[in-house]
């Protein structure tokens, strides 16, 4: 941190004033850039939250108008952050499910390729099933 006493001490120890000023300017520019980056990152979040709030208001109005029997004023008390958290969790769960289904599909294809099918005497699949699985 740059305070008067620290600067004075550095000047007393023989440091160049211009070097100290350059260091202060660099630190200030770094802080300004960090602040601008922070604002830019959070601007997108603010727009996303604003858009979601507008959607939530319209959905609540729709439910209140057309489905008044299930409408509850507490629906309006749900925060945007709660909805975003639920959506983010749902998206993550869907990604995991999609990955699991893809793995299952690969396993099924591999199993199908492993099996060899032989023709049976029965040509009727129902009779074949009954003969194989049901004691008649």
Q: Are residues 71 and 10 in the same domain?
A: yes
- Beta-carbon neighbour count of residue 98 at 10 Å? 10
Reported confidence tier of residue 123, pLDDT bands at 50, 70, 90: low
Summarize pLDDT for 19-78 with one digit per residue, the tens: 999 999 999 999 999 999 999 888 988 899 999 999 999 999 999 999 999 888 888 899
- For 120: left if phi > 0, alpha if psi spans -120 to 50, otherwise beta; the answer is beta
Which of 24-28, 59-63, 86-90, 119-123 has the weakest average pLDDT?
119-123
Assessment of whether the complete model's pTM goes beyond 0.75: no
Reported confidence tier of residue 110, pLDDT bands at 50, 70, 90: confident
- Residue 121's pLDDT is what? 59
What are the structure tokens assigned to 75, written together?
A: 């629906």
Q: How far are the Cα atoms of 97, 104, 110, 113 from residue 107, in angstroms, in the given order?
A: 15, 5, 5, 10
Mean pLDDT to the nearest integer, 98-117: 80
Q: Are residues 61 and 45 in the same domain?
A: yes
In sequence order, which residues have a C-beta less than 8 Å from that of residue 10 and are 6 or more positions away? 20
Q: Are residues 1 and 61 in the same domain?
A: yes
Q: Are residues 46 and 103 in the same domain?
A: no
11: pLDDT strictly greater than 90: yes
Q: Are residues 72 and 90 in the same domain?
A: no
- Residue 25's pLDDT is what? 95
- Residue 104's pLDDT is what? 85
- Which domain covers residue 65, as residue numbers? 1-78
Which residue, of 63, 78, 93, is where some domain finishes? 78
Summarize pLDDT for 124-136 with one digit per residue, the tens: 777 777 777 776 5
- Residue 73's pLDDT is what? 87
Cβ pair 131, 122 in contact under 8 A: yes
């Amino acid at each position: 941190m740059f305070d008067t006493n620290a600067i004075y001490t550095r000047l007393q120890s023989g440091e160049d004033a211009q070097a100290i000023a350059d260091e202060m300017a660099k630190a200030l520019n770094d802080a300004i850039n960090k602040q601008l980056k922070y604002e830019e990152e959070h601007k997108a979040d603010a727009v996303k939250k604003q858009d979601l709030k507008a959607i939530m208001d319209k959905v609540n109005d729709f439910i209140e108008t057309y489905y008044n029997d299930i409408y509850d004023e507490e629906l309006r008390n749900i925060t945007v952050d709660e909805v975003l958290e639920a959506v983010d969790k749902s998206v993550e769960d869907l990604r995991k499910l999609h990955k699991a289904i893809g793995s299952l599909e690969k396993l099924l294809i591999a199993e199908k390729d492993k099996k060899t099918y032989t023709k049976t005497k029965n040509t009727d699949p129902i009779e074949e099933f009954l003969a194989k699985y049901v004691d008649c």
